[in-house]
Amino acid sequence: MMGTLLRGDRGGQVLLTVLAICAVVMPMCNLMLPVEHPWHVSTYQLNLFGKYLCYALLAMSVDLVWGYMGFLSLGHGAFFGLGGYAMGMYLMRQIGDRGVYGNPELPDFMVFLNWESLPWYWWGFDFFPVALIAVFLVPGLLAFIFGWLAFRSRVNGVYLSIISQAMTYALMLAFFRNEFGFGGNNGLTDFKDILGFPISAQGTRVALFVASAVAVIAGYLLCRSIVQSRAGRVVVAIRDAEDRARFLGYRVESYQLLVLVISAMLAGLAGALYVPQVGIINPGEFSPLNSIEIVIWVAIGGRATLYGAVLGALLVSFSKSWFTAVLPDYWIFALGALFVLSTLLLPAGVAGITRRRVTST
């Protein structure tokens, strides 16, 4: 199964192998080696890598719609944010009466707003399975509505990108409002437990890291299953000549919808894994700039390869953490320069350096 999915995909084979090794070896280096051992991996480093793996999954979801389908989404941060909020709501409910106000029924921010009872859209989030379903369902539903409206009326190109940007911006404004019921400005934070385990314990961190690595691997295989199928070829055909695909009898909008919804769900999963690892979700995640940054990761990594997106996200994120430690004020310029240089020097991205064209017959 995995063999056929990765056939002809050297980059993917290497990437997934390395990731799988990391997912096994790094936790061992963290848990089993003493702190002074040169190969010891600190929980902090593991946690950082885990966060970046969430970015990698997010970048992959953007590559699926942009690289393969030609929809330059400037709004994927919205799907990521919604997945993150769904997980955050579950984590909030796990706090119980350990909040500042000690109210067992309501999260702190609702007590602060003098709310009497839990709003209906928070119902069920005490239960992990409900939250998990919401992690996929809410971003998927938004993508479905967005796509249904946009693709059916054949909005495309730059207009579609702008609308996607407006979508995430509108969500940001909504989530900023206290009355919206998601903690306003401050978002959701002060989490205590996840599935009964203390959220900042070493073991939990390790588990979240492993879960993120597994999610990237599983997401990669899912994306591959699409792009190397006949449906994947149709998606590329739609990207290159939408009208032509229609005259061949393809219902272009159903392909676009399917791919967008799957992509949004992957982004939602990335957000859900991200939130317990950083301990907070706030409306800043919906900021248009975030969505643009994702696109830059993919552009730097190389489009329509999937592994390029993963590489780009990891590369930029690690440079960012290094750079902000050395020259904190200049990161935005460095990112800009990286983007411009990579577009000029590496039009096919980092992935393009090693990629040889693999033809399939």
Partner 1 sequence: MNALTAKSDASTLLYMEDVTVSFDGFKAINQLNLYIEEGELRCIIGPNGAGKSTMMDIVTGKTRPDKGVVTFGGDIDLLALDEPEIATIGIGRKFQKPTVFEALTVFENLEVAVEGERSPGFNWRYGLSNLQKERIADVAEIIGLSDQLGAPAQILSHGQKQWLEIGMLLVQKPRLLLVDEPVAGMTHQEMDRTGELLVSLAGSHTVVVVEHDMDFVRSLDSRVTVLHQGSVLAEGSMTDIQANTEVKRVYLGE
* Site residues (vs partner 1, CB under 8 A): 225-226, 229-234, 236-237, 239-241, 243-252, 254-255, 258, 357, 359-361
Rounded to 10 deg, the angle between the 288-301 and 157-176 helix axes is: 140
The answer to whether 290 and 300 have CB atoms below 8 angstroms apart is: no
- Report the nearest approach of partner 1 to the CB of residue 31 (Å): 40
Q: Which is nearer to partner 1, 114 or 153 (CB)?
A: 153
Q: How far apart are CA 4 and CA 18, in angstroms?
A: 19
Per DSSP, the residues of 28-92 read HHHHTS-TTSTT---HHHHHHHHHHHHHHHHHHHHHIIIIIT----S-HHHHHHHHHHHHHHHHH
Q: How far apart are CA 38 and CA 18, in angstroms?
A: 20
- Provide CB contacts within 8 A for 26, sequence distance 6+: 41, 46, 49, 209
In the three-class reduction of DSSP (H, G, I as helix; E, B as strand; rest coil), residue 303 is classed as coil
